[in-house]
Structure 1
């Protein structure tokens, strides 16, 4: 007759097996019940709405907004907190203290980061860029204006550092960057010279050059030369540029949701939102004799191109 295993040993093996299974499930499961703290220098309906929408996306977390003036020094916050900064003033506050929780800096432009960080690397920060990726904007030009070869770019002392990245991205697409400094926006000669020597104008997110005071001159001059302006943002498309990629609030919420699923030590140093849309101005396209753009189709094609290795 076969010898039976003692029931105590069998129960122990079962308990160990269930324990190992539970441990593996816990290790593989996404992080839960995180303390997510949003802050900004101003308490207004826009930031409250954004915070409420993020909380709706993250019901398993404790998501709250606290005005900057009500917070202690960053180093006094619990280390497990996931901190989200919503404006440059809150970034300056965070930079004053080398200690503090892992921090996502939301919707900061490349120029703002250059001005506030001054080239320094802060190990606790992840920067989420607000301006469209240069490569994405160039791919947009390639898609809607396939005949274009020379891309004109105005730059100031603040945005000059972006040219190296732009030229590298353009070269991979067979495009040439024709850059012109615009030191004084009251002098139209650099703009006119650039329009004569390029096929399209690509706007950088540089408030010195692209702002309500310059928009009329930029758009009228480009129309006169029959040159399309791409970018620099959705606001300029509504004002009269041809098209731009951009990320709206839902895209940002999707990006944040994805990052908050990860451990903070896996957050990237900097990131452009992977979710984005394309906005075009049909009236401008018609006036320039350009085929009407299907924004959803173009956005889908650009996104598919970025997902391919």
Structure 2
């Protein structure tokens, strides 16, 4: 895609909340910095019409709802999706080509390395999966084995399975690694999961900043600005003639800590800055 033929970029948001707006603002600012004449339109998925995309050189879908709506269209310009889990991306994409992504979830090895750095005394990592998230949990289990941790998973078919699964996962402690599977971890189930883990003295590691506020000890996540920045890099490369439309894990990440919950569990954690710097240093090693 050359700059001469790059008529416009359309950003399609799953919803109008501030998280999606932050993504759109950061993405637009960064693309316009290097392509000041670029026309960038931002719409919500409810406003989506196939003809609105016909002149676009690139369409950016933000969130799972936007991704599903865009991939349901018979044809689109090249698509770049973000703020959705890898499993959702792979399921929705099917056999479509010219579709890239920056996932919301982190590389499996990064989650496990954080556990190693922050909670070195814990050797058992428990996970909950549905049929839709089994592949992702299998990758996490493999990463745990590679770093000499004992990974255990319980399959959840119904919300009523969650509490018995926690009891089976943690007979004598460990750490619960939450995954972006909304059939298990959602606004309805999360308070019970966090409370059940706390009562068993099991720290929870989340995948968004909201998890720390809700009661997770740690959260490893990429902010909307960090995801948007990576998407802007891909967009700039496309506008400058690249044909690569990759599917990538986030490069940049943040770590959040709930000090109150950590103290209640008797955990003495390094600061979020120190953990992030140690994790970044570890990832730079060959």
* TM-score normalised over the length of structure 2: 0.84
Relative contact order: is structure 1 or structure 2 higher (C-alpha 8 Å, sep ≥ 6)?
A: 2
Q: Which moved more, 1:42-51 or 1:258-267?
A: 42-51
Q: Structure 2: how far apart are the matches of 1:125 and 1:102? A: 6
* 1:280 is the counterpart of 2:254: no
Q: In structure 2, list runs of 5 or more residues that go unmatched.
A: none
Query: By how many angstroms is 1:200 displaced?
Result: 1.3
Aligned counterpart in structure 2 of residue 265 of structure 1, from 243, 251, 254: 243
Q: Which moved more, 1:257-266 or 1:134-143?
A: 257-266
Structure having the higher Rg: 1
Query: By how many angstroms is 1:42 displaced?
Result: 5.0
1:189–1:87 CA distance, 2 compared to 1 (3 A): closer
Q: Structure 2: how far apart are the matches of 1:157 and 1:174? A: 26
Instruction: Assess if the C-alpha contact under 8 Å between 2:26 and 2:225 holds in 1.
Output: no
Aligned counterpart in structure 2 of residue 157 of structure 1, from 103, 117, 131: 131
- What residue in structure 2 maps to residue 57 of structure 1? 30
- What residue in structure 2 maps to residue 14 of structure 1? none
Q: Superposition pairs for residues 166-245 of structure 1, below 5 Å?
A: 166-187=140-161, 188-196=163-171, 199-245=174-220
Q: CA RMSD in A?
A: 2.6
Query: By how many angstroms is 1:218 displaced?
Result: 1.7
- What residue in structure 2 maps to residue 103 of structure 1? 79
Q: Structure 2: how far apart are the matches of 1:44 and 1:228? A: 29
Instruction: Assess if the C-alpha contact under 8 Å between 2:129 and 2:184 holds in 1.
Output: yes
Instruction: Assess if the C-alpha contact under 8 Å between 1:152 and 1:197 holds in 2.
Output: no
Query: By how many angstroms is 1:31 displaced?
Result: 5.7
Q: Structure 2: how far apart are the matches of 1:134 and 1:231? A: 13
Aligned length: 275
- What residue in structure 2 maps to residue 304 of structure 1? 281
* TM-score normalised over the length of structure 1: 0.79
Q: Structure 2: how far apart are the matches of 1:261 and 1:307? A: 25
Query: By how many angstroms is 1:198 displaced?
Result: 5.0
Instruction: Assess if the C-alpha contact under 8 Å between 1:155 and 1:181 holds in 2.
Output: yes
Task: Give per-residue Cα distances to partners, 1:101-127, cap 9 Å, x unaligned.
Answer: 22101211234325434xx23211002
Instruction: Assess if the C-alpha contact under 8 Å between 1:38 and 1:64 holds in 2.
Output: yes
Aligned counterpart in structure 2 of residue 91 of structure 1, from 67, 70, 75: 67
Q: In structure 1, list runs of 5 or more residues that go unmatched.
A: 1-29
Query: By how many angstroms is 1:46 displaced?
Result: 5.9
1:298–1:32 CA distance, 2 compared to 1 (3 A): farther
